[in-house]
Amino acid sequence: MNVLNFINAFFSDSAHWKGYDGIPTRLWEHILYSLVALGIAAGIGLPVGLLTGHTGRGGNALSLIATAARALPSFGLLVLMFVVLGLGLLPVMIPLVVLAVPPILVTTYEAVRSVDPSPVDAARGMGMHESRILLQVELPVALPLILSGLRSAAIQIVSTATIAAYVSLGGLGRYIVDGLYQRDYEKVVGGATLVAVLALATLGLFWAVGRLAVSPGVRRSN
């Protein structure tokens, strides 16, 4: 009677593989929530981080905003949004985006700030336009750090999207929350395993993206 038995029982039950409560459906819902939230958060965090990092202005304001946003409890925000806005995707998206913007914003800012100034000066001396300096010099060098910010944001989103089930949405958290109410421990552990695997897959995905996207010269110096 241990966790491994529960996991085995959950995954070998064919009833868990089809229908609206099947593993493929729930997994897809979970990935969908996570992708949308990460997309919105990156859409906010990346441009702002790149611009502030390039100009070097607004660093204090950024860290203040990030500290405040980090202090907001995502689970609390989720329930609050649900109570205020009612059922829907929006009350789930708001806490997920609030959760993900600070790591993306702060690491992007720090990454661009910490780029070695000599290649940037060289590029400027060659007459490159500021936007090209940012996109063709600073961005490639800062990419490993920027990706690490996106990675921790993505992992936090995947873990927190689990809680969306508490306010009646789908996703893998459905198994955990339903299982707890039904005292079906097999379901709870199965759901937990799926979420953990998804989080680890995210970790692996970002590692692969890093291998592919980061220029070999930058990778070697790290």
Partner 1 sequence: MSGFFDIPSDLQHSWLGLIGLHLREALLPVLAGLVLALPIAQLCVRFRWLYPPVLWVTTVLYAIPSLAFFVVLIDYTGQTELTVMIPLAVYSLVILVPAIVDGVRSVPQETLAAATAMGFGPLRRYVQVQLPIAVPAIIAGLRVAVVSSISLVSVGTLIGNQGALGNLLADSMFYHRPELAVNSVVTTAVLAIVIDALLVGLRHLLTPWMEDTAK
Q: Which residues bind partner 1 (CB under 8 A)?
A: 2-3, 6, 60, 63, 67-68, 70-77, 79-80, 82-84, 155, 158-160, 162-163, 166, 173, 176-177, 179-180, 185, 188-189, 191-193, 195-196, 199-200, 202-203
The tokens for 91 are 């009350």
Residue 56 φ then ψ, to 5°: 75, 15
Shortest separation between residue 128's beta carbon and partner 1, angstroms:
31
**Contact between residue 24 and residue 11 where contact means Cβ atoms under 8 Å apart:** no
SS3 content of the chain, % helix, strand, coil (to 5): 85, 0, 15
Report which of 2, 33, 142 is spatially closest to residue 97, judged by C-alpha positions: 33
Q: Which is nearer to partner 1, 84 or 212 (CB)?
A: 84
Distances (CA, A) of 43 to 19, 48, 50, 58: 34, 9, 11, 19
The tokens for 171 are 């996703």
Shortest separation between residue 136's beta carbon and partner 1, angstroms:
30
Q: Which is nearer to partner 1, 139 or 192 (CB)?
A: 192
Q: Which is nearer to partner 1, 79 or 135 (CB)?
A: 79
**How many CB atoms are closer than 10 A to CB 209?**
14
Q: Which is nearer to partner 1, 33 or 82 (CB)?
A: 82
Half-sphere exposure of 5 (CA within 13 A, CB side): 3
Residue 154 φ then ψ, to 5°: -65, -40
Q: Which is nearer to partner 1, 52 or 193 (CB)?
A: 193
Residue type, position 115, single letter: V
**Contact between residue 144 and residue 210 where contact means Cβ atoms under 8 Å apart:** yes
Q: Which is nearer to partner 1, 139 or 189 (CB)?
A: 189
Q: What distance in Å separates the CA atoms of residue 46 and residue 66, rounded to the nearest whole number?
A: 14
Q: Which is nearer to partner 1, 72 or 126 (CB)?
A: 72
